[in-house]
Structure 1
């Protein structure tokens, strides 16, 4: 899942705010809250960052999707605790041999939170609504996933917007929707499982259409409906109740007309506590019932105290990105390779990442078909890095390195600590590093997306199990984040995306990985298994390698 997108120019808030929030909200919960919510009917989970939007179609980050996933459902879902695709709002799906016509046999008797009926017409209303987005909605920071899966729009307003692959959606009958695309794609059917393509009530869409996202310079203002509970209505086991931004809390309540198994706990609260220490202490104090992104150093300690700390399977990648548009020196391959040699990735994995983490040699984890041992390796060598910088005439290289604050990610447990170690590695090789800390959401995500950071740390947790979901995410086409235009490399990355034969597709991904690591657009650092913690009295949900936990499964012992 992408960690970018959401515009704005708000400055970082003080880290102590997280502690204040925990203290204030904890006392209310212990007393049953201001609406009589007792401990057994309210589950509080702490994330590391605020959601960007309550509308998943406008988002691309995990903190947002953690919340929206409880209220919205897509045509296809993933099995609990795994990456196998299973029926969602569509009980079954199929395609023609070319992979251009997708038929969905929909569930019957499904209702939206606002009482509207779910049917094929509702599916088509959503897809046609997204396809006809205009203005700021065509900004990749707003419509990243639509553009990734379906290309552009009915009328592209920017020459850099990809060509539309979406062709049409037809309600063949009440319970059969047919979606056609112009060309086969490795993004399908996986793309139909994304939260960004989850289905909204047709009544909601009418409200959405009357409101606009706006942009000024790099700042995007999201439409009002997406920033508060009210108009948004999905089909999920929970529905939105409120978003208290002052207390950094989103509250959902059980949807009693849900088509499937009802949520076991009535009220679900997502609270932002932006430090791992704050989340850990809140769990110990009983102020929350679970939290994500447990520090590797805390796993055994918490388990020893009786807390439950399951570890997800590896399905992510941490990397150092390079923006050639920001710093011209990065256009020189010797400089990019020097940076790769300078970074001591073994030390980063050993000292900063959880048990089971591995040094990454390419831009996908070794659990994905397409990973290959044939890529060029860049062993840690300060002397080799110095030599390459000398060859490039960049012995006095100065470079800005952005890193995020007030956040922890599944692939990046302690961003500042990771940054300090990498800064030290680079400076040993003679590279003068200028630190640039930025608040995660929206400042850091916006800056990296816009290519405003010469070096930056980012990562990715896969959306579905296909190699293109990793390498295609970054390198299928020119982007501001990376700032280079190499058609031959893009062709290598895209070669497997339209290949129908599974073996040929994997071979194409392997060749693409070789080409990418010869070019070195950035430095893959690691893949690691992130842990998630729950209270002693909690029956937790099945943990997902895709970080797609379903909190309707949660109950108290």
Structure 2
């Protein structure tokens, strides 16, 4: 879940004032009272309207053109994929596919589908619909096939019908109505767990055709979504789309024809509140039922006041990236100096949540291929100054860099970007590096840092989407990208080889060496593995916290 390369424009900020919180509370109260009156239920019954505060608008309602957590949080309620995850883990599990069989070489995968399901528009879910989705991704062209739009397919499947020799995907063939075989053109050991990503959810072929799902426009810097992606998402999930008021809220309602357990919630309101203080005030006032990304300073106070606190296991990475399109950052001595200048322990103590782990590489310790013995650059400001001088930068001729960071947003790996920027820029200044702050709203920021070369050092991170090493180092460093700005064919080749090895022991050894190679190449500084915390009204008895954010609201248990 992950950062995002494309976002909605013109988000309307929700203020953090007490007045705003009271207005929100009144609005929600009136909505709930109306629901109760209309249904004839007594106030002692379970309130089926669940209000969750999102830290930003979704990018779009089509998850195939997204990669950010807020889009995927909404997507997981509307859509389902062939593969899900085991509750509380990142491991793959059956979802729309009841089972699957993979060939020994991993190049062929046959899925047995659930029978008798329909999309929200009554289009049958069957083998033809599955292949329609796979072929949709494979046949993208132009902007749709770019890193900035179809990020996950671009990163993981690496090619399209226009360049089939580069593509991981080869074909999808129906074997009757409820079985499909997907053939790969290249080995990809993470293929099955990757399908648990919301980006690869099954979507109604009828709705996508009717509302022009792939008719995207604009540019990487200013993307324009299709009519489908803005107002007509159709999946098989427990909730169907009702309304999106950009900058304010997304409303979903329970799908009566859902095949699984519906749970207690009949309406979800994802209300956009970008300020962490305003989210806390909204919870305290009763305006919302819960929110994610609780600020470290708020956790204990909320718990003492009786709110339910839920922590996810850290499956994240926060990093400071070096864009090697900048000439100064092409010098490995400069990158090494910047690494020695960063005091990760101080950063964690000052601004990151309790339970955060210090990072030494670009993936969490629980992922296959983690190398405990990688080269590290422990905080040493004097060493940093020596290396800068060696590279030609002195007090009279300081290293000057743009430092990009987002504002008015919280991410699981980056709860308060402005505080993180302040700490790190101060640390860099202490060794003589002059940074120019370049701040932008989240959408514009991600468009710039992941879709263009126009940025300097910058803050970003990742929430693991599934338990496979390629989902971390492969996504970051598997090919040339706008974010990192380097060309390293040897590293690209090693990652391409490792992602196709089916033997776990053999693959693990390759990834351990790759992590050492990355550490010596120094594309950036892996900072920390933050542990995100959620807060809920006391009426929430349990919430299905997942390390990969695979949280479907049918599993929430309410007491009133």
Change (3 A) 1:373 1:216: closer
Of residues 529, 533, 536, the one that matches 1:534 is 536
Deviates more, 1:461-470 or 1:200-209: 200-209
Distance in structure 2 (CA, Å) of the matches to 1:265 and 1:154:
42
Report whether the alignment pairs 1:189 with 2:192.
yes
Matched-pair contact (CA < 8 Å) for 1:251–1:269: yes
Secondary structure of 1:40's partner?
Answer: coil
Q: What displacement does 1:451 show?
A: 2.9
Matched-pair contact (CA < 8 Å) for 1:238–1:263: no
Matched-pair contact (CA < 8 Å) for 1:90–1:106: yes
- Displacement over 6 Å in runs of 4+: 17-20
Distance in structure 2 (CA, Å) of the matches to 1:542 and 1:210:
31
Distance in structure 2 (CA, Å) of the matches to 1:7 and 1:236:
23
* Equivalent runs, 1:355-366 vs 2, <5 Å: 355-366=354-365
Aligned partner of 1:6 in structure 2 is: 6
Report whether the alignment pairs 1:145 with 2:144.
no
Distance in structure 2 (CA, Å) of the matches to 1:512 and 1:78:
27
Aligned partner of 1:288 in structure 2 is: 288
Secondary structure of 1:154's partner?
Answer: coil
* Equivalent runs, 1:21-60 vs 2, <5 Å: 22-32=21-31, 36=35, 40-60=47-67
Q: What displacement does 1:382 show?
A: 1.1
Distance in structure 2 (CA, Å) of the matches to 1:206 and 1:215:
20
Matched-pair contact (CA < 8 Å) for 2:149–2:220: no
| Residues 333-384 of structure 1 deviation map (CA, whole Å, 9 limit, x = unaligned) | 0100111000111101112112221210111111212111221110111111
Report whether the alignment pairs 1:213 with 2:200.
no
* Equivalent runs, 1:100-115 vs 2, <5 Å: 100-115=107-122
Aligned partner of 2:271 in structure 1 is: 271
Aligned partner of 1:383 in structure 2 is: 382
Distance in structure 2 (CA, Å) of the matches to 1:198 and 1:210:
14
Aligned partner of 2:406 in structure 1 is: 404
Aligned partner of 1:173 in structure 2 is: 176
Q: What displacement does 1:35 show?
A: 5.7
Is there any run of 5+ residues in structure 1 with no aligned partner, and where?
none
* Equivalent runs, 1:253-272 vs 2, <5 Å: 253-272=253-272
Distance in structure 2 (CA, Å) of the matches to 1:474 and 1:18:
39
Secondary structure of 1:227's partner?
Answer: helix
Matched-pair contact (CA < 8 Å) for 1:358–1:528: yes
Is there any run of 5+ residues in structure 2 with no aligned partner, and where?
38-45
Matched-pair contact (CA < 8 Å) for 2:212–2:228: no
* Equivalent runs, 1:13-162 vs 2, <5 Å: 16=15, 22-32=21-31, 36=35, 40-156=47-163
Secondary structure of 2:378's partner?
Answer: coil
Distance in structure 1 (CA, Å) of the matches to 2:11 and 2:129:
40
Secondary structure of 1:495's partner?
Answer: helix
* Equivalent runs, 1:469-548 vs 2, <5 Å: 469-548=471-550
Report whether the alignment pairs 1:201 with 2:212.
no
Change (3 A) 1:19 1:171: farther
Q: What displacement does 1:29 show?
A: 1.6
Secondary structure of 2:93's partner?
Answer: strand
Secondary structure of 2:515's partner?
Answer: helix
Secondary structure of 1:437's partner?
Answer: strand
Matched-pair contact (CA < 8 Å) for 2:55–2:409: yes
Distance in structure 2 (CA, Å) of the matches to 1:533 and 1:281:
12
| Residues 514-538 of structure 1 deviation map (CA, whole Å, 9 limit, x = unaligned) | 0000010000000121111111111
Distance in structure 1 (CA, Å) of the matches to 2:554 and 2:57:
21
Deviates more, 1:92-101 or 1:38-47: 38-47
Distance in structure 1 (CA, Å) of the matches to 2:532 and 2:219:
37
Matched-pair contact (CA < 8 Å) for 1:54–1:64: yes
| Residues 153-173 of structure 1 deviation map (CA, whole Å, 9 limit, x = unaligned) | 1115xxxx9922211111111
**What is the RMSD computed on CA atoms of the aligned residues?**
1.9
Of residues 399, 420, 423, the one that matches 1:421 is 423
Q: What displacement does 1:4 show?
A: 2.3
Distance in structure 2 (CA, Å) of the matches to 1:408 and 1:162:
39
Aligned partner of 1:313 in structure 2 is: 313
Change (3 A) 1:210 1:3: closer
Distance in structure 2 (CA, Å) of the matches to 1:416 and 1:52:
22
Q: What displacement does 1:148 show?
A: 2.1
Q: What displacement does 1:23 show?
A: 4.1
Q: What displacement does 1:433 show?
A: 0.6
Aligned partner of 2:303 in structure 1 is: 303
Aligned partner of 1:437 in structure 2 is: 439
Change (3 A) 1:209 1:547: same
Distance in structure 2 (CA, Å) of the matches to 1:18 and 1:35:
26
Q: What displacement does 1:196 show?
A: 0.6
* Equivalent runs, 1:323-362 vs 2, <5 Å: 323-325=323-325, 327-362=326-361
**TM-score, structure 2 as length reference:** 0.94
Secondary structure of 2:449's partner?
Answer: helix
Matched-pair contact (CA < 8 Å) for 1:237–1:263: no
Matched-pair contact (CA < 8 Å) for 2:21–2:285: no
Change (3 A) 1:13 1:427: farther
Secondary structure of 1:112's partner?
Answer: coil
**TM-score, structure 1 as length reference:** 0.94
Distance in structure 1 (CA, Å) of the matches to 2:176 and 2:20:
50
